[in-house]
Amino acid sequence: MSAFSSQHAVIFAWLLCTLMLNTGTCNNFSIGCSQKDKLGLLNFKQRVIDLSAVLSSWNPDQDCCQWRGVNCDHITGRVTRLSLPCSTTLATYIDKQDKSHCLSGSIHLSLLLVELEFLNDLNLSNNDFLALQFDSVHQNCHNLSVVSHFHRCVNSSSLGYLDLSFNDNLAINSLQWLSRIYSLKYLDLGGIDLHKETNWLQPLTMLPSLSVLVMSDCQLKDLSPSLLYANFTALNALDLSKNEFSSELPKWLFNLSCGICYLEFGMNSLRGQLPEALLNLRQLKYLNFEDNDLDGPIPLWFGKFQYLKYLIIGANMFSGSIPPNLGNLSSLIALSVSSNQFTGVVSERNFAKLSKLKRLIIYSSPPLIFDCESQWVPPFQLERLVLGFAGPNLPEWLYTQRNLKRLSIFYSSFVAKSKFWNFVSRVSELDLEGNLIVGNLSNNVLLNSSFISLTSNDLKGSLPRLSSNVVIFDVSNNSLSGTIFPLLCDHKMLNGKGSLIYLDISRNHLSGELTNCWKNWKSLIHVNLGSNNLTGKIPSSMGSLLSLASLHLHENNLYGTIPTSLQNCHSLLIFNVRENNLSGTIPHWIPHDARALQLRSNNFSSNIPTQICQISSLIILDIADNIISGEIPTCLHNITSLVFNNATKSSLSFSFHYSSSLIYFHDDSLELVTKGRVSEYDTNLHFMTLIDMSSNNLFGTVPPQMFSLVGLCSLNLSHNKLRGKIPYEIGNMRSLESLDLSANQFWGEIPQGLANLSFLGVLNLSFNNFSGKIPSGTQLQGFDAVSYIGNPDLCGPPLPKICWQDAEHKDSKPIDEDEDKDEFLSWFYIGLKSGFVTGFLGVFCALFLNRKWRQAYFTFLYDMRDRLYVMVLIKMNSSR
């Protein structure tokens, strides 16, 4: 009886576990991990690079079902899921996403699928794997080729979910191995380099169960537009966005399973018009063709997609009017038709049945005309609105949107009155960038949104007041005046709880001092007060901005020294105070991680501190147009970011979180003098590496260590008192695009190595003491003579002065046909002269040796004298 009861107890336990698989309460009934699976996982661990001990819990002495990322079947103990995605957070300063704590090395996929034969779910996304390999690890599969091994040993795989996305350094040359994983239902290879796989579509069509396919940002080029059918019988979702497709929409797309509901082709270069065959996919709920080159009108039949919830077709070349039929899409939640070439009028009919609409993005350039009744109340309540319109007044229906959280207005002009500012105080995101909005912010305007961008408008008056909710505030490039005191020092509004992290009030007409209220804004990360009329000293309270990463105070009238309290700003990456009246010495406390230091056009003096050399990440060092003296430090080669040509791997971008789910990305910018002109660098700032020490009082020789900065793009040492020879090693600076050594005391020959700088676009060696011949080669002869003037002893093209070595060489070189002619003429004239001299001497000698000839000769001379005398007298008498 007891045996019978035990048997029934086991059956009952099995049934109980089956019923409670989703609750996790049957863990106590599960059996241990399969020994085969444990060995397979340990083999996987042995072959990956795990510097941060992600797999430290994978202890051979413990049950592998308890290891990190491993899930087992509670009945059989076989591993069914391996989920090891790397968790990375987006840092405020985006240099390069830090994946040092992620798994790396190679993914030995065949090892996993052969050893873990019941593996159903594999997620290795967002790691830093470098290769995908197939190993012969099964004894029955030894001595087989990679492909045949995989085909024979993986046919029985139960893998249904495979996610390798966002392994940014992973490149896969072929996808043929996928065709044998028949059970695959979900595949995500987003962000993996597949540009060498030209036939990527064929192996995917051999997966009969594939339901979700994500291959965005894979550098794919061939969309097989002429292919009629692709055997995706079970496909429900297809994402091929951010690739390099440049054809028309493929024919096979319109013959997919009628059950497909998600279609994503955004950010490609697709062209042509939308064919009516797209209606074959009537079950579509999500359709995204944003940012392509599609053209023509929006077809009227678009209104027949009765299940469509998301229609995103912005940033194309669609023309004509927006058809009223779009107003029939009663299921629509999001509609984006922005940045096209639409014209005409938008009226109530375009929104007739859109009662579920939450997100509307509708603007064009030139702006559309909204012709809606002033009393019209839309059937929707929007949460997100991006709007562009023609006319002096806002559409009245905007004020009916009570649930609006995010409002953006582009390509518009209107007068912003109190009613408008009161309305937008309720939205959390307000973006009015780049309009012609006229308004006065002096009239007790209180801004309450967490994100506020009013840049590039025509706003006047003083700065507005900010509530403690504001996180991002940008009011640059307007006509605001007054002081910054009301904005920063209104303690009553803040109550010590200011949340501001981004402040840009540059390019206005603000005046007065910087105030000393910065202690109220300790969360600030980015501050830009440049291009105003601010005066006074930099307040010491700025040193309380411990999170400050970017500080711009350029083009003002600031004076005094840089306060030492700024050394508390350990996160400072960009420090820009150019074109002020600041004095004192160059600060030696600049953080070691700083990227850009711009002090040009001030009154800084003394020497260049050697602490500069400890800023290993520096890519911009601009100290031009000061009164700095002394020698150039010999330690500049310690700035490793300039020694290695890897500047393009870094960026000078910032991300700012202004809500739990919304992020603002900002590319920092600097105006730099390079290639003989002033240029603004923003999104391409990280490509520029520059040292500018021009127009100072530097003396001595240039340390040879400077010529090891092979990553440098621009070097300007002009207008100093530097001397010495330029070493041949300057030819190692292969990244140089601009070199200016003018107005110094350099001497000696121009090194031949300079001709090796193939990227050099601007060269100025004028007004030195260079001598000898300009090195030959197309590079140096391609510059104007102006690049070399003021060097009296310099010769050779492009200068008109011919080198004496060239003249000697010319005399000794072989004679061509023209030279034969010149030589003949030369010898002809020499013979003529010789003949004349010889004839003259012969006649002269004959006269003096023969008496009769001599007497006759002188008689002839005397007779000629008398004749001439008579002729002169006759002429003189006749003239009287």
Q: What is the mean pLDDT of residues 560-571?
A: 94
Q: Residue 270: is its pLDDT beyond 80?
A: yes
Asked if pLDDT for residue 825 goes beyond 50, the answer is no
In this structure, which amino acid lies at residue 799? L
pLDDT for 428 equals 94
Q: To which H or E segment does residue 584 belong?
A: strand 581-585
Q: Which whole number is the average pLDDT over 774-800?
A: 90
Nearest of 382, 384, 403, 385 to residue 394 by alpha carbon: 385
Predicted confidence band of residue 654 (pLDDT cuts 50, 70, 90): confident
Task: Reply yes or no on whether the pLDDT at 789 is more than 60.
Answer: yes
Average pLDDT, the chain: 85
Q: How confident is the model at residue 867 (pLDDT cuts 50, 70, 90)?
A: low
Share of the chain above pLDDT 90, in %: 60
SS3 for 341? strand
The arithmetic mean of pLDDT across residues 792-812, rounded, is: 77
- Give the position of tokens 């409670």: 20
What's the pLDDT score for residue 718? 97
Instruction: Kindly list the distances between the CA atom of residue 707 and the CA atoms of 424, 592, 703, 732, 734, in Å, as whole numbers in the listed order.
Output: 56, 22, 8, 7, 10
Beta pairing class for 596-598 and 620-622: parallel
Cα 67 to Cα 28, 38, 59, 107, 549, distances in angstroms: 16, 10, 8, 19, 40
pLDDT of amino acid 472: 95
Q: Contact, 580 vs 602, CB < 8 A?
A: yes
Average pLDDT over residues 637-656: 75
According to the model, what pLDDT value does residue 436 have?
Answer: 86
- The Cα 170–Cα 194 span in angstroms is 9
Residue 140 has pLDDT above 50, yes or no: no
Q: Quick one: average pLDDT of 524-528? A: 96
Beta bridge partners of 131: 106
Long-range CB contact pairs, 656-663, < 8 A, 24+: 656/92, 656/471, 656/472, 656/501, 656/502, 656/525, 656/526, 657/471, 658/429, 658/450, 658/451, 658/471, 658/472, 658/501, 659/428, 659/450, 659/451, 659/471, 662/429, 662/451, 663/90
pLDDT of residue 298: 92
> CATH number for the 34-170 domain, one of 3.50.50.60, 1.10.540.10, 3.40.50.10490, 3.80.10.10?
3.80.10.10
Instruction: Give me the helices (H) in 319-468, please.
Output: 418-424
Q: Does residue 855 surpass a pLDDT of 70?
A: no
As separate numbers, helices (DSSP H) first and strands (DSSP E) second, the chain gives 13, 57
Structure tokens at 546: 């411990």
Residue 820, pLDDT score: 45
Position 95 confidence tier, pLDDT thresholds 50, 70, 90: low
Residue 491's pLDDT band, with cuts at 50, 70 and 90, is low
Q: Own/partner pairs for 490-497, CB < 8 Å, 24+ apart? A: 490/465, 490/466, 491/520, 493/446, 493/465, 493/466, 493/467, 493/468, 494/468, 494/520, 495/468, 496/520, 497/468
What one-character-per-residue DSSP string does 172-240 give? -S--GGGGG-TT--EEE-TT-B-TT-TT-HHHHTT-TT--EEE-TTS------TT------TT--EEE-
User: Fold match between 34-170 and 573-648+663-812?
Assistant: yes
Amino acid at 407: L
- Predicted pLDDT at 17: 39
Which three-class secondary structure state does DSSP give residue 153? helix
User: CB-based contacts of 689: which residues, under 8 Å, 6+ apart?
Assistant: 619, 620, 641, 642, 647, 711, 712, 713, 714, 735
Give the span between the Cα atoms of 193 and 170, in whole angstroms. 6
Predicted confidence at residue 661, as pLDDT, reads: 80
Q: Do you find a cis peptide bond into 486, omega within 30 degrees of 0?
A: no
CA-derived radius of gyration, the chain: 40
User: Measured between alpha carbons, how far is 98 from 107 in angstroms, rounded to an integer?
Assistant: 20
Q: Which amino acid is at 433?
A: E
Cβ contact 751:780 at 8 Å: no
Can you tell me the mean pLDDT for 515-543?
A: 94
A 10 A CB-CB count for 337 gives 25
Task: Judge whether residue 494 has pLDDT over 90.
Answer: no
Instruction: Quote the tokens at residue 810.
Output: 């010319």
pLDDT in the model for residue 374: 84
Strand partners, 431: 408, 453
Lowest-pLDDT range of 316-325, 675-684, 737-746, 826-835:
826-835
Q: What is the structure's pLDDT at 30? A: 52
CA torsion sign, 576 to 580 to 586 to 589? negative
Query: Which pLDDT score, from 0 to 100, does residue 155 have?
Result: 53
Give me the residue label for tokens 């873990």: 116
Please tell me the distance from the alpha carbon of residue 119 to that of residue 444, in angstroms, as a whole number. Answer: 64
The Cα–Cα gap between 357 and 404 comes to 12
CB contact at 8 A, 505 and 480: yes
Task: Provide the pLDDT confidence category of residue 153 given band limits of 50, 70 and 90.
Answer: low
Q: Mean pLDDT over residues 343-365, rounded?
A: 91
Please give the pLDDT value at position 408. 95
Handedness of CA 129, 132, 136, 140 (dihedral sign): positive
Residues with Cβ within 8 Å of residue 723, at least 6 apart in sequence = 699, 700, 701, 744, 745, 746, 747
pLDDT at residue number 772: 93
- Give, for 740, the enclosing helix (H) or strand (E): strand 738-740
pLDDT in tens, 158-193: 899 999 999 999 999 999 989 889 899 999 999 999
Domain boundaries, the chain: 34-170, 573-648+663-812, 850-880
Q: What angle do CA 172, 187, 285 make, to 5 degrees?
A: 130
Does the pLDDT of residue 541 top 70, yes or no? yes
Write down the pLDDT at residue 702: 94
Q: Which two tokens stand for residue 202?
A: 């064929």
Show Cβ contacts of residue 549 under 8 Å, excluding neighbours closer than 6 positions: 92, 93, 525, 526, 571, 572, 573, 574, 654
Q: What is the pLDDT of residue 446?
A: 87
Q: What is the DSSP letter of 265?
A: -
Cα–Cα dist 98/51, whole Å: 13
Query: How confident is the model at residue 506, as a pLDDT?
Result: 97
Q: Which is higher by pLDDT, 84 or 229?
A: 84
Tens of pLDDT along 229-245? 888 889 999 999 999 99
Spatial contact of 199 and 176, defined as CB atoms under 8 Å apart: no
Tokens representing 47?
Answer: 């072959």
pLDDT in tens, 436-473: 889 888 877 889 999 999 999 999 999 998 888 999 99
DSSP 8-state assignment for residue 812: H
The CATH code of domain 573-648+663-812 reads 3.80.10.10
